[in-house]
Amino acid sequence: MEINVNTIIKDNDPLVRQKSEPVTLPLSEEDKALLLDMLTYVKESKDEKLAEEKNLRPAVGIAAVQVGVLKQMIAVDCEIGYDENDKPIVATYALVNPKIISASAKQAYLKYGEGCLSAEVDHSGFVPRSLRVKVEAYDLLQDKTITIRAEGYLAIVLQHEIDHFSGIMFYDRINQLAPDAKIPGAIMIE
């Protein structure tokens, strides 16, 4: 499936508010192909030349509902730090049926707020999330069920994408009365 700015479902489409269904394992060839296409989008969207050529918006994650498929599948490719040689450490997953099995009470939020491929309008404000999450899922790239212990940025990305399964957009979580008010006790992530 070709995925680009024009094929991504926008937040004014009622589909983004619908619930996504669990996916039967083993994966069908169709589901595998879709999930790999989603991951390709995320990876290619970070390359300025490819992004311009293919009409892609930069992303670190995407959920299947955003391409019109109500299935619990997400693709994630994001930098989570640097190794001792200052090379980026990248977390890359093609997840099926990811579930948050535990989350810290300690909260975190991104300094510059969150964005979404489905949201064409900017929604400023802080989005409270758990600082740490433990996620269980089948990962197509490893071809097995895995447990991800994520903290900080990766934890926020996973929570954002998994929210899509319930029809929740990131801006639903912003305090509408005080969108830019610091979240007491939470860690701000730059």
Give the domain 14-189 fold. Peptide Deformylase (3.90.45)
What is the rounded CA–CA span in Å between residue 97 and residue 55? Answer: 29
- Reported as a single tens digit per residue, the pLDDT across 30-71 is 999 999 999 999 999 999 999 999 999 999 999 999 999 999
How does the average pLDDT of the chain come out, rounded?
97
Name the residues annotated as catalytic: 161
- Residue 90: CB atoms within 10 Å: 14
- Residue 123: CB atoms within 10 Å: 17
Q: What is the pLDDT of residue 27?
A: 97
Q: What is the pLDDT of residue 20?
A: 98
Asked whether 156 and 187 are in contact (CB, 8 A), the reply is: no
Calculate what percentage of the chain has a pLDDT beyond 70: 100
- Phi then psi for residue 138, to 5 deg, are -85, 130
What is the rounded CA–CA span in Å between residue 166 and residue 100? Answer: 13
- Reported as a single tens digit per residue, the pLDDT across 13-29 is 999 999 999 999 999 99
